[in-house]
Amino acid sequence: MSARAGNKVLIMSVILVGAAVVAGLIMGKLQFIHENWGIFAVLLLSTALIVFFASFEGSKVSSRELGVIAVLAALAAVIRVPFAPIAGVQPTTFLVMVSGYVFGARSGFMVGAIAALASNFFMGQGPWTPFQMLFWGLIGASAGLLGVVRPDAGRAVMVSFGIIWGYLFGWLMNLFLVVVFIKPFTWKAVFLAYAASFPMDTFHALGNACFYLLLGPQVIKLLKRFREKMTYVEI
């Protein structure tokens, strides 16, 4: 697939997710839906993700690209499981980040989304799964955009990127927690939710930094070499 076509798929997915959120906010004005907003949020986001995956499958994707996405997503899912006992430490984020940085925004999004879905077959599926798919996908997509803007990003840039997403991922997941589980909604409950997650978010951010400092340059070099040997078309 050409870079232009790949970007169209990614842009369409972002529009779909945005439309789902806007539609949810509009429907939230209705009393019945407002009382069950958590369920509708999960359904809307799930629908948007399904449409994105369908559009991706229907596009002209090379077998090489599919192979890369499948292998990296499987690896990102597997390495999440043994680190589960360590609160907040997510090597999946690191691998999704470097995958998107090397192979582009579209592949990065797919690696993150599939890794979340696959790993939750071991960690536990639930209404949180679509949100994890979206947010890990956004990590991969934003890393792909970073790779376009800063193709020779150094350690400081990549470590900062990992730290920012370590906190941002937790904060975004807290929105899911607040929307789905906190009833009635109060700002005190929101504050407590964010305060309770801060230590784990910090471990996530520091874990991302450590993984990159220990393995980042070597993994990126390996992935770039693989991309060149496979004559992979970066998007």
| Strand ranges (E), 33-126 | none
In whole angstroms, how large is the CA radius of gyration of the chain? 18
Task: Give a yes or no: residue 109 inside a domain.
Answer: yes
pLDDT of res. 130: 83
Task: Give a yes or no: residue 16 inside a domain.
Answer: no
Chain-centroid distance of CA 195 in Å reads: 22
Token look-up 């770039």 returns 224
Phi, psi (deg, nearest 5) at residue 233? -90, 110
Distance CA 149, CA 100 (A): 13
Distance CA 40, CA 43 (A): 5
CATH number of the domain enclosing 220: 1.10.1760.20
Task: Give a yes or no: residue 209 inside a domain.
Answer: yes
Task: Give a yes or no: residue 56 inside a domain.
Answer: no
pLDDT of res. 41: 58
Task: Give a yes or no: residue 90 inside a domain.
Answer: yes
pLDDT of res. 9: 53
pTM given for the model: 0.77
Distance CA 140, CA 138 (A): 5
Task: Give a yes or no: residue 197 inside a domain.
Answer: yes
Other C-beta atoms within 10 Å of 70: how many? 13
Task: Give a yes or no: residue 35 inside a domain.
Answer: no
Token look-up 């784990």 returns 200
pLDDT tens digits in sequence order for the chain, 235 residues long? 445 555 555 555 555 555 555 555 554 444 444 455 556 556 656 666 666 666 656 566 667 777 888 889 999 999 998 888 888 889 999 999 999 999 888 889 889 988 988 888 888 887 788 888 889 999 999 999 999 999 888 899 999 999 999 999 999 988 877 777 777 778 888 888 899 999 999 999 999 999 999 999 999 999 988 887 765 444 4
Task: Give a yes or no: residue 20 inside a domain.
Answer: no
Peptide linkage before 184 cis (omega within 30 of 0): yes
When divided into structural domains, the chain yields a total of 1
> What one-character DSSP code corresponds to residue 30?
S
> Can you tell me whether residue 50 is helix, strand or coil?
helix
Distance CA 118, CA 127 (A): 15
- Segments forming the whole domain that contains residue 213: 61-229
